[in-house]
Chain A
């Protein structure tokens, strides 16, 4: 209905293969970006920013990471949390070793640590498939989270056994640590996420994306057109873990400010997996939807009862949240197994052919 595609024709393949070939989409994304960069910092409260926007950014990135592996390459992983952890601890160590280096660089660099670890734990994927692989990744999850607890070296032997994020500045403004404002941390996080989402979309639309999807859809045929399965899978593990690692680093440095050892436990992994599934396997935008939905719903649920003047004990709300979340997950799987992304697509298609039904 809002789409006016008549007269939008392409004279080059370059234009034809752009991310947003349709003008209205380009406008839409521009508006969203404007809101994200200007709107939110100006309008949203510190609290809203640090309790909603920053987390959503962090989770979106992690979800994208997992989506690259599970959604695009078809390798189911339950170790996301651990890989995020590696990123976080990696970043912490790097920060202690190179206090001089810009924190942004460190955060991005920490991804490489988890990428390396990811590759190691990706090795089994060469022999095993499906749920067997999923369980294999659990090994990574439990082993790594054990390491986080048991290896005090990781936290510079803090007695608390937790990471305490040092204050680091960017252009003189503190971006991490206790006295960094939520807004600055948000903007930093946002920039990182936007950048990396762009990179991810480049990847998946290009040769590597196609190789991954080929492996996902039919590995035999993929091998037949000359794709080396193990390289492709390992690359996917590496890239995926890189994204998760950066997300983990952001989680600790730009959100929590500190982290207990079990921040990156198995539930974290499940949490991210929900986001990917609900958001939509094999869709970047879906990862955002998933993050917003899974993180947003509980907040909403907590917010709703007071609106009706109801006072429900926190514990009860907690339990209800669990139930409703669980129910919603099942509900969504039933209405649209391909996730919110698909719903979005369908809606968009409807608008494009409006007033026709198809």
Chain B
């Protein structure tokens, strides 16, 4: 570029006008953010939300209290106790405490589970209003996700 063109460009603020044009174009173009509580960006299918215990089609719990997740967990989220009822074939958990405040959502528990009992839900709202609200017991582990919003923060509950 010749010096003259350069100084002319500089004098007529060409660089500034180019910048202004960019912001003006974005002003009229599509917006990226969404109005959150009304519109929710759906998490990806593999999203690692709150982990949840699942039951099989007959409503039987899948968890056999093998504690594989407890051993795999690097942050000691789990406190599991199992018991074999008289005549039952499999062990069932009687205590399944899971601590949200310790969890790092690494996914080891889900990977090691031999019966696919513990899986990630799509619940991404993790805030609680009380500290004891971050400790989940056995019955709550089956509800985790959509059904468990009372447990967590009320501020951003979905309205739809």
- The judgment on whether A and B are partners is no
Enumerate chain A interface residues (CB-CB to B < 8 A).
none
**Which residues of B approach A to under 8 Å, CB–CB?**
none
